Amino acid sequence: MILPTTDFEAILHARHGSPHSVLGMHALTYRRSHGLVVRAFLRDAAACDVVLTDDAPPSVFAMKLLAPEGLFEVFIPRRPDVCAYELSVTSADGRVRRMRDPYCFLPTLGEQDLYLFNEGNEHRIYTKLGAHLRDLGGVKGVAFAVWAPAATRVSVVGDFNGWDGRYHPMRSMGSSGVWEIFLPGLGEGALYKFEIRDKAGQLRVKSDPYGTRFEGPPGNAAIVCEVDQFTWGDADWIGRRRSQAGALDRPVSIYELHAGSWRRKPEEDNRPLTYRELAPQLADYVTEMGFTHVEVMPIAEHPFDGSWGYQVTGFFAPTHRFGAPADFAWFIDHLHQRGIGVIVDWVPAHFPRDSFALAEFDGTHLYEHADPRQGAHMDWGTLIFNYGRNEVRCFLIANAIAWFERYHVDGLRVDAVASMLYLDYSRGQGQWVPNRYGGRENLEAIDFLRRVNDLVHHYHPGVLMIAEESTSFAGVTRATSEGGLGFDYKWNMGWMHDTLKYFSLEPIHRRWHQNELTFGMLYQYAERFVSVFSHDEVVHGKASMLYKMGAWHIPEKAANLRALYGHMWAYPGKKLLFMGGEFAQSQEWNHAASLDWHLCQYMEHEGVRRLVRDLNRLYCAEPVFGANDFNPHAFRWINCTDADSNVLSYLRMDAGEETLFAVVGHFGGAVRSYRIGVPRRGWWREVINTNSEYYGGSGLGNDGGRATTEEPRDGFTQSIELTLPPLTTLIFKWTEKG
């Protein structure tokens, strides 16, 4: 045996930190003879020969078995130069296979790749780390690479080597902390993980942080998958999207959904729809309903259904639950070709503690902070990313960009931004660490958010970055060049909570809570807001949208909900509504069951659905609404102080006040005769009456419209006399000059 005993033991027991220096072919002087030594460590091999393929005919040298585990060695004298070779391996049952040696290939990553990664500036590191099909000099295989700087040894394990970490130890790329190996002959479909030996000698078997496809629990292995081969048909959509870059005040009405529970197949054990089944049905429905976008709750891989996707373990992989990555691409491509944008929930705020995933990845707190006052999320029992570490920031930025480049998504709704911005989020005194200035702001997270927003917009003009941010942090949608975070839109959580609080009251009590409806206008134009009623509001005992309404009977609850939606769509702000809310689902949302579509046979539910459809059509057709959500000159109160009557009235208009709409919300329980002032003489046509029989109401209204009279009211010289049905929002359009 030429191999030194220390190397022999280290290879045999999977403790060698530099296997490429031992295995493979190397020039060697042995007993004064200049030649080549070849070593191979092969699973299930009874014999092995080295075949020098440069020779004609090829020369064959039998290798000596050094250990029954499959460690072979041979010295080839008078061959001082390394040359091309293959291994001819004979298994115990006599089968012979020819293979290229994984330890004869140069690294698949360059110094520049690693430098930029360590610097935090390799924006597409997902094309380098992980598992990728490669062709190296005509040899096809899979290149694996993983970042584990504190590891003493890393192996790729999988169904191709019996999940045995001894047989494919990886090469350390020095101070970069990256380990890599190329396995020739391997292809798509192979299952794999990384086996990591930490400095304490403990073994950790981890899934690939950059994996593009995963099997389901409990295996959770990554699957070698080429995700860049899908043939897209959405070039026209992408071109239109690019042309809209910077045009943020346009109709955006978002239908939020959970892919696993929108509809199910009851005849097939109540299984969820696949990506390819979901796309055409969803496109038909969303088109009918008039929504411009769908927002899919986190679709990245996650082990626990009950997390709804918010505890991600496979950041670069669409979940296996509904199909393969190509199926998810087909889903988006189909929606694009139907004229529907796709926004995906993105979760860079935290990750779960599952032992197979990111937590303590290489035996150290690699992706998270070591100090639990910084690294532990108090609300969800998860871990917080260390945004100050270059490689972690690189991972997250690359992840955002990957969803746009690989899957053509139109936007990311960034989850739990508030928890990222503040070091003391959900923490008491002594439970958090101040920043370097002694403040509570997470400066590293703020810097990360600015960078990811700028880079996403740089690489993909026209896409949307949307913040779920529940505090009054200033400048969320302000440009980074002006000191802001650089988001396009922000969820208006304050408006949502105030409005729901008001509508949860019985009408008799609302007179003392008018400020819940009016306070939001004080800050409405401080950010570019999306008015939202999301999934978070219809779970955990909060009740469905219908059952939130302050009334005793279903018809009254439905009337309240119709009035609420009429107000929401007329009020400034882009729109978002969670699935089921559009037809007034009675039960809270259940992630493990279909929506209650059968309710649409009843007018209390079907009427709400018809109203939401018509509100969307009005919102998208009239620029006064869809193109003036962020224009403070496009809104004016008519009367916001008549709390005793439970009436709220306001105008929506364009810049020249050529197109005018008057919105009157009557949220009391009795019919009223009511006069409002208006700025134009003529006919005000009733375009929406949420009390219409068509929507399930009584039909009481204003006979299609009202003409002005010369009676001053609300600061105007003319007014219109209205009949206000109970629990109703009315929208009027000025159509004629007086």
The helix (run of H) or strand (run of E) holding residue 204 is strand 203-206
Q: What Rg, from alpha-carbon coordinates, does the chain have?
A: 32
DSSP-assigned letters across all residues of 628-640: -TT-GGGEEEEES
Tokens of 698: 């009584």
Query: Is the confidence at residue 655, as pLDDT, over 90?
Result: no
The whole-angstrom separation of Cα 319 and Cα 642 is 51
Q: How many CA atoms lie within 13 A of 696 on its CB side?
A: 26
Characterize 312-349 residue by residue with b for buried, 16 or more Cβ atoms within 10 angstroms of its Cβ, and e for exposed: bbbbbbbbbbbbbbbbbbbbbbbbbebebbbbbbbbbb
Q: What is the pLDDT of residues 423-466, one digit of tens each?
A: 999 999 999 999 999 999 999 999 999 999 999 999 999 999 99
Of the candidates 271, 272, 275, 269, the one whose C-alpha atom is nearest the C-alpha of residue 260 is 272
Q: What is the pLDDT of residue 737?
A: 66
Give the integer Cα–Cα distance in Å for 613 and 608: 9
Residues 554-571, mean pLDDT to the nearest whole number: 98
State the helix-helix crossing angle for 554-570 and 603-621, rounded to 10 degrees. 10
Q: Which two tokens stand for residue 401?
A: 């960009």
| Domain 111-223: CATH class, spelled out | mainly beta
> Could you report the per-residue pLDDT of 515-524, keeping only the tens digit for each?
999 999 999 9
Q: Measured between alpha carbons, how far is residue 309 from residues 296, 344, 347 in Å?
A: 10, 11, 9
Would you give the end-to-end CA distance of the chain in angstroms?
106
Tell me whether residue 395 is exposed, middle or buried, using C-beta atoms within 10 angstroms of its C-beta: 0 to 12, 13 to 18, 19 or more.
Answer: buried
- Residues annotated as catalytic are 415, 468
Q: What CATH number has the domain spanning 5-101?
A: 2.60.40.10
Rounded to an integer, what distance in angstroms lies between the CA atom of residue 98 and that of residue 105? 16
Q: Domain-by-domain residue ranges, the chain?
A: 5-101, 111-223, 631-734
Which among 160, 187, 181, 203 is positioned nearest to 44, based on CA atoms?
A: 160
Provide CATH code, domain 631-734.
2.60.40.1180
Q: Which residues contact 236 (CB under 8 A, 6 or more apart)?
A: none
Contact present, 496 and 545 (Cβ < 8 Å): no
Q: What is the pLDDT of residues 323-343, one digit of tens each?
A: 999 999 999 999 999 999 999
Choose between 259 and 33: higher pLDDT.
259
In degrees and rounded to multiples of 5, residue 189 shows phi and psi of 95, -10
Report whether pLDDT(738) > 60. no
**Residue 529 neighbours by CB under 8 Å, 6+ apart:** 489, 490, 491, 492, 495, 572, 573, 574, 629
pLDDT at 32: 78
For residue 102, is the peptide bond before it cis, meaning its omega torsion is within 30 degrees of 0?
Answer: no
Do domains 5-101 and 111-223 share one topology? The answer is yes
pLDDT digits (tens, 9 = 90+) for 682-706: 999 999 999 999 999 999 999 999 9
pLDDT of residue 31: 79
The pLDDT of 472-501, averaged and rounded, is 97
pLDDT tens, position by position, 280-302 = 999 999 999 999 999 999 999 99
In tens, the pLDDT along 525-536 reads 999 999 999 999
Return d(Cα 708, Cα 683) in angstroms, integer: 7
Residue tagged 């030429």 (tokens): 2
pLDDT of residue 33: 82
Mean pLDDT on 490-506: 97
> Among candidates 657, 652, 645, 541, which has minimal Cα distance to 590?
541
pLDDT of res. 80: 77
